[in-house]
Protein backbone atom coordinates (compact mmCIF):
# COMPACT_ATOMS: atom_id res chain seq x y z
CA UNK A 1 0.00 0.00 0.00
CA UNK A 2 1.17 3.51 -0.80
CA UNK A 3 -0.11 6.94 0.19
CA UNK A 4 -0.33 10.05 -1.92
CA UNK A 5 -1.53 13.60 -1.39
CA UNK A 6 -4.15 15.36 -3.46
CA UNK A 7 -5.90 18.72 -3.63
CA UNK A 8 -9.19 19.55 -5.29
CA UNK A 9 -8.25 23.04 -6.45
CA UNK A 10 -10.27 26.28 -6.09
CA UNK A 11 -11.56 26.20 -9.70
CA UNK A 12 -13.12 22.75 -9.31
CA UNK A 13 -14.52 23.56 -5.86
CA UNK A 14 -16.06 26.82 -7.16
CA UNK A 15 -17.71 25.04 -10.09
CA UNK A 16 -19.28 22.41 -7.79
CA UNK A 17 -17.14 19.51 -9.04
CA UNK A 18 -15.74 18.42 -5.66
CA UNK A 19 -18.29 15.64 -5.13
CA UNK A 20 -17.90 14.27 -8.66
CA UNK A 21 -14.10 14.25 -8.36
CA UNK A 22 -14.25 12.51 -4.98
CA UNK A 23 -16.56 9.89 -6.48
CA UNK A 24 -14.05 9.24 -9.30
CA UNK A 25 -11.27 8.86 -6.76
CA UNK A 26 -13.26 6.35 -4.69
CA UNK A 27 -14.44 4.46 -7.78
CA UNK A 28 -10.80 4.07 -8.81
CA UNK A 29 -10.11 2.19 -5.57
CA UNK A 30 -8.47 4.84 -3.40
CA UNK A 31 -9.17 4.85 0.30
CA UNK A 32 -9.57 8.33 1.79
CA UNK A 33 -7.30 8.31 4.85
CA UNK A 34 -7.77 12.00 5.74
CA UNK A 35 -9.70 14.87 4.16
CA UNK A 36 -10.40 18.52 4.92
CA UNK A 37 -11.85 21.62 3.30
CA UNK A 38 -9.79 24.75 3.94
CA UNK A 39 -8.59 27.99 2.43
CA UNK A 40 -4.88 28.80 2.27
CA UNK A 41 -3.10 32.15 2.19
CA UNK A 42 -0.80 33.16 -0.65
CA UNK A 43 2.18 32.62 1.67
CA UNK A 44 0.97 29.09 2.49
CA UNK A 45 0.53 28.38 -1.22
CA UNK A 46 4.07 29.64 -1.85
CA UNK A 47 5.38 27.22 0.79
CA UNK A 48 3.52 24.31 -0.76
CA UNK A 49 4.74 25.06 -4.30
CA UNK A 50 8.25 26.26 -3.32
CA UNK A 51 9.83 23.88 -5.90
CA UNK A 52 8.24 26.03 -8.60
CA UNK A 53 9.41 29.36 -7.16
CA UNK A 54 11.61 30.21 -10.16
CA UNK A 55 8.92 29.37 -12.72
CA UNK A 56 7.18 32.22 -14.57
CA UNK A 57 3.76 31.00 -13.42
CA UNK A 58 4.62 30.92 -9.68
CA UNK A 59 2.95 34.24 -8.72
CA UNK A 60 -0.19 33.50 -10.68
CA UNK A 61 -0.36 29.88 -9.44
CA UNK A 62 -0.09 30.88 -5.78
CA UNK A 63 -2.70 33.65 -6.22
CA UNK A 64 -5.02 31.10 -7.81
CA UNK A 65 -4.42 28.46 -5.11
CA UNK A 66 -5.26 31.01 -2.40
CA UNK A 67 -8.37 32.31 -4.22
CA UNK A 68 -10.94 30.07 -2.53
CA UNK A 69 -11.64 26.85 -0.67
CA UNK A 70 -9.77 23.67 -1.54
CA UNK A 71 -10.07 20.06 -0.41
CA UNK A 72 -6.83 18.50 0.80
CA UNK A 73 -6.65 14.74 1.18
CA UNK A 74 -4.44 11.75 1.79
CA UNK A 75 -5.26 8.75 -0.40
CA UNK A 76 -4.12 5.14 -0.15
CA UNK A 77 -3.96 2.17 -2.53
CA UNK A 78 -1.37 0.03 -4.31
CA UNK A 79 0.67 2.35 -6.56
CA UNK A 80 -1.30 5.33 -5.30
CA UNK A 81 1.10 7.96 -6.67
CA UNK A 82 1.24 6.68 -10.25
CA UNK A 83 -2.42 5.62 -10.31
CA UNK A 84 -3.67 9.02 -9.15
CA UNK A 85 -1.56 10.76 -11.79
CA UNK A 86 -3.06 8.47 -14.43
CA UNK A 87 -6.57 9.22 -13.16
CA UNK A 88 -5.85 12.98 -13.16
CA UNK A 89 -4.48 13.14 -16.71
CA UNK A 90 -1.91 15.56 -18.16
CA UNK A 91 -1.23 18.89 -16.43
CA UNK A 92 -2.65 20.73 -19.43
CA UNK A 93 -6.25 19.52 -19.90
CA UNK A 94 -5.84 20.09 -23.64
CA UNK A 95 -3.39 17.16 -23.60
CA UNK A 96 -5.28 15.00 -21.09
CA UNK A 97 -6.68 11.64 -22.16
CA UNK A 98 -10.43 11.10 -22.46
CA UNK A 99 -11.98 9.98 -19.20
CA UNK A 100 -9.39 11.63 -16.96
CA UNK A 101 -10.37 14.11 -14.24
CA UNK A 102 -8.57 17.00 -15.91
CA UNK A 103 -10.15 16.25 -19.28
CA UNK A 104 -13.59 16.34 -17.67
CA UNK A 105 -13.25 19.09 -15.10
CA UNK A 106 -10.19 21.31 -15.76
CA UNK A 107 -10.34 24.63 -17.58
CA UNK A 108 -6.68 25.46 -18.24
CA UNK A 109 -3.09 24.43 -17.54
CA UNK A 110 -3.16 26.51 -14.34
CA UNK A 111 -6.76 26.01 -13.24
CA UNK A 112 -6.50 22.28 -13.71
CA UNK A 113 -8.93 21.00 -11.05
CA UNK A 114 -6.69 18.63 -9.12
CA UNK A 115 -3.17 18.19 -7.77
CA UNK A 116 -1.45 14.88 -7.05
CA UNK A 117 2.04 14.21 -5.68
CA UNK A 118 4.61 13.36 -8.35
CA UNK A 119 6.85 11.05 -6.28
CA UNK A 120 7.41 9.45 -2.88
CA UNK A 121 9.50 12.28 -1.43
CA UNK A 122 7.02 14.87 -2.66
CA UNK A 123 4.11 12.89 -1.22
CA UNK A 124 5.79 12.78 2.17
CA UNK A 125 6.45 16.55 2.14
CA UNK A 126 2.95 17.39 0.92
CA UNK A 127 1.13 15.13 3.39
CA UNK A 128 3.16 16.66 6.22
CA UNK A 129 2.46 20.18 4.97
CA UNK A 130 -1.31 19.75 5.39
CA UNK A 131 -1.81 16.98 7.97
CA UNK A 132 -0.46 16.21 11.43
CA UNK A 133 0.44 12.63 12.34
CA UNK A 134 -2.62 12.19 14.59
CA UNK A 135 -4.91 12.94 11.65
CA UNK A 136 -3.46 10.00 9.72
CA UNK A 137 -3.70 7.36 12.45
P1 LIG B 1 0.13 20.83 -10.21
O2 LIG B 1 0.09 19.41 -10.61
O3 LIG B 1 -0.56 21.23 -8.95
O4 LIG B 1 1.67 21.30 -10.12
C5 LIG B 1 2.09 22.62 -10.37
C6 LIG B 1 0.99 23.47 -10.91
O7 LIG B 1 1.44 24.61 -11.61
C8 LIG B 1 0.20 22.69 -11.97
O9 LIG B 1 -0.53 21.68 -11.40
C10 LIG B 1 -0.59 23.81 -12.61
O11 LIG B 1 -1.67 24.23 -11.81
C12 LIG B 1 0.47 24.91 -12.61
N13 LIG B 1 1.21 24.97 -13.88
C14 LIG B 1 2.08 24.09 -14.41
N15 LIG B 1 2.56 24.50 -15.58
C16 LIG B 1 1.99 25.70 -15.80
C17 LIG B 1 2.09 26.64 -16.85
N18 LIG B 1 2.88 26.44 -17.91
N19 LIG B 1 1.38 27.78 -16.74
C20 LIG B 1 0.59 28.00 -15.68
N21 LIG B 1 0.45 27.12 -14.64
C22 LIG B 1 1.13 25.99 -14.71
Q: What is the mean pLDDT of each run of 10 residues along the chain (137 residues)?
A: 98 98 98 98 98 98 98 98 98 98 98 98 98 96
What is the domain partition of the chain in residue ranges? 2-136
pLDDT confidence of residue 71: 98
Look at residue 78 in the predicted model and tell me its pLDDT.
98
Ligand 1 within 6 A of 88 CB?
no
Q: Is 112 in the pocket of ligand 1 (CB under 6 A)?
A: yes
User: Considering only CA atoms, which of 59, 48, 47, 46 is closest in space to residue 7?
Assistant: 48
Could you give the residue ranges of the DSSP H alpha helices within the chain? Answer: 10-14, 18-27, 42-48, 58-65, 80-88, 101-105, 120-130
- At the fourth CATH level, the homologous superfamily of domain 2-136 is Nucleoside diphosphate kinase-like domain (3.30.70.141)
Indicate which residue's Cα is closest to atom 20 of ligand 1.
110
Q: What is the pTM of this model?
A: 0.97
Long-range pairs, 82-86, Cβ under 8 A, ≥24 = 83/28, 83/29, 83/30, 84/4, 84/6, 84/25, 84/30, 84/116, 84/117, 85/116, 85/118
Residue 115 is a catalytic residue = yes
Amino acid sequence: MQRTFSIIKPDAFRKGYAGAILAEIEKAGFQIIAIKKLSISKTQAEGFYYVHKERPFFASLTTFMSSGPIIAMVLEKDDAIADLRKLMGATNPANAEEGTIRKKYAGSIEENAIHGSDGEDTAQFEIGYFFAGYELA
